[in-house]
Structure 1
Amino acid sequence: MSQVVSAADELEELRQLKARYCRFLDTKDVDSWRDVFTADVVVTLDMAVGVAGADPMTAPPLEGVDNFVPMVLGGLEGVATMHHCHTPELTLTSATTATGIWAMEDLLVFADGRELHGAGHYHETYQKHDGQWRIKTLHLTRTILRIRGGDGD
């Protein structure tokens, strides 16, 4: 007998997915973090605070989990991190697709004492396959980006 899943249940699954995204990223659990994405994920990261919605330092899109995960986690080796996401705006667009915007705050503490503290938004799409939601696209925009310590302090 198949169980009917309510919209509220689906939205809770999306919230749980994002919670795992943050926890696995901060604990550097590579295999589990990799599993929150579709194999063909497309990620766009704004490297500066946007001005009227435009960031002149947006990095080229990273395509595929095999490119994205090693690039991010390789760059965070030896870095203590904190990622918090909250106030989700989630919309189910079909039985197997959804969109979401999450407010975020991150803190990265490097071994040399430098710190990156930022805030912004994750703009995401999701896809459900074999009963599991995964992140299909992710675009990180920033409203705050502060770097302190090291030689620039």
Structure 2
Amino acid sequence: MSDLDEIRRRLDALEAIENIKQLKARYFRFVDEKKHDELAALFTPDAKVVTDGIVWKSPQEFAYTIRDLTGAAPSVHHGHMPEIEMTGPDTASGTWAMEDLLTFPAGENAPEGHNGYGQYRETYRKVDGRWLIDSAELTRFRMDPLENWDPGA
């Protein structure tokens, strides 16, 4: 491999890693902005999604379950310290530290809010020139309860 070929390979890898970081940033933003169709579109159609041991049938089922569970409740999701490795020209894997905060309007039978901490382990695939999440497994290491809030207060 010539020096120029090696520089091109390294540049392609850096561009791919940056695109994957932006993909994951959109993931967190779409969850918090309640953009569930856009969230589902960040995955390959046959992506494997597992959260805290729950296996979802499809990215759309995962996104719509989030929609149905959280409704208009405010949430904050952060991903930190990405470790992304190129596994091929159109494939990669990554590990992200995560934190999420979710609270619900107070009321009878309101679910309990939480501040969660954990890790995403993911794979990515480039499809038609666009990086997508091909598999995602979220494991929470800790969940601290949060009080719900009174929207009228």
**Larger helix proportion, structure 1 or 2?**
2
Q: For residue 79 of structure 1, give the secondary structure of its aligned residue in structure 2.
A: coil
How far 1:83 sits from its partner (Å)? Answer: 0.3
Q: Percent identity?
A: 38
Which of 134, 140, 143 matches 2:132?
134
Q: Distance in 2 between matches of 1:91 and 1:73?
A: 31
State the partner residue of 2:151. none
Q: For residue 126 of structure 2, give the secondary structure of its aligned residue in structure 1.
A: strand
State the partner residue of 1:45. 51
Q: Distance in 1 between matches of 2:32 and 2:61?
A: 19
Alignment size in residue pairs: 135
Structure 2: segments with no counterpart, 5+ residues: 1-7, 149-153
Structure 1 ranges of 4+ moved more than 4 A:
none
Q: Distance in 2 between matches of 1:65 and 1:100?
A: 18
How far 1:30 sits from its partner (Å)? Answer: 2.0
Q: Distance in 1 between matches of 2:120 and 2:59?
A: 17
| 8 Å contact from structure 1 (residues 120, 143) kept in 2 | yes
Q: Distance in 1 between matches of 2:63 and 2:141?
A: 24
Structure 1: segments with no counterpart, 5+ residues: 47-57
Question: Within the alignment, does 1:86 sit opposite 2:80 as a pair?
Answer: yes
CA RMSD of aligned residues (A): 1.6
How far 1:115 sits from its partner (Å)? Answer: 2.4
Q: For residue 46 of structure 2, give the secondary structure of its aligned residue in structure 1.
A: strand
TM-score (norm 1): 0.82
State the partner residue of 1:23. 29
